[in-house]
Amino acid sequence: MRAIGIVLASYLTAAIPVAYLTAKVLRGIDLREHGSGNVGASNVWQSASKVAVVPVGLAEIGQGLAGPAVAIAGGYGPATQAAVGVAAIAGHNWSPFLGFTGGRGVAHAIGVMLAISRPALGVFIVISLIGVWLKAIPQFVGLGILAAPAVAKFARQPGEIVVGLSAVAALIFAKRLLANDGLPRDPTVLLTRLVHDRDARERDTWVARAATQS
């Protein structure tokens, strides 16, 4: 029962929409209707405050870290640690406080990996930095997320951790496809979401669409 309580607490903690609340307080806007439409630190940078992006990002990483860290400190095994991490991603991506909308869960995944799989986190960071260098961030962040369970397996971590990181990757890519408005009917948009994490290939085009709609 205590393990279930930790999983639920992790879900609810990560569901607190830090980025959304920050944008509301600083600019009085709903992040879902501005910039990329993502309820996360990257859209805080784009639409609300460049200064706030660091504390928001750290807070989101902390939300992902908190549950698994508590499970580890409490002596719970890898199955509970992984379940708590998956719950954190689900809570952020489909927050009950935002009508089950939310962000992508990448920052929260960083926190989860920091707690339960530092080898996976290290590889994720390297792959993501290559993406920054190549100006292909969504693609390489996606590759880093997909690589995480393979790295954990290669590092001979418990099978439960490998399965947990696979579930984290599945939730992150599910949110890429669903976004906050459901699965698109256009297969071209579906592919663009999968690869580029948005509905248009060019980021500037996608971000600019919010300005024309408002």
Contact in structure between 20 and 50 (CB atoms under 8 Å): no
Amino acid at 133: W
Predicted local confidence at residue 183, as pLDDT = 86
pLDDT per residue as tens digits for the range 45-59: 888 989 999 999 999
pLDDT per residue as tens digits for the range 108-156: 999 999 999 999 999 999 999 999 999 999 999 999 999 999 999 999 9
Cα dihedral 130, 134, 136, 139 in deg (nearest 10): -40
* 3 state DSSP class of 95: strand
Predicted local confidence at residue 205, as pLDDT = 66
Residue 206's H or E segment, with its range, is: helix 203-213
Q: In whole numbers, what is the pLDDT of the chain averaged over residues? A: 92
Query: Confidence class of residue 211 from pLDDT cuts 50, 70 and 90?
Result: low
Residue with the bigger pLDDT between 179 and 9: it is: 9
Q: For the chain, what are the domain ranges?
A: 2-213
Residue 157 CB partners (closer than 8 Å, separation 6+) = 78, 117, 119
Query: Confidence class of residue 200 from pLDDT cuts 50, 70 and 90?
Result: confident
pTM of the model: 0.92
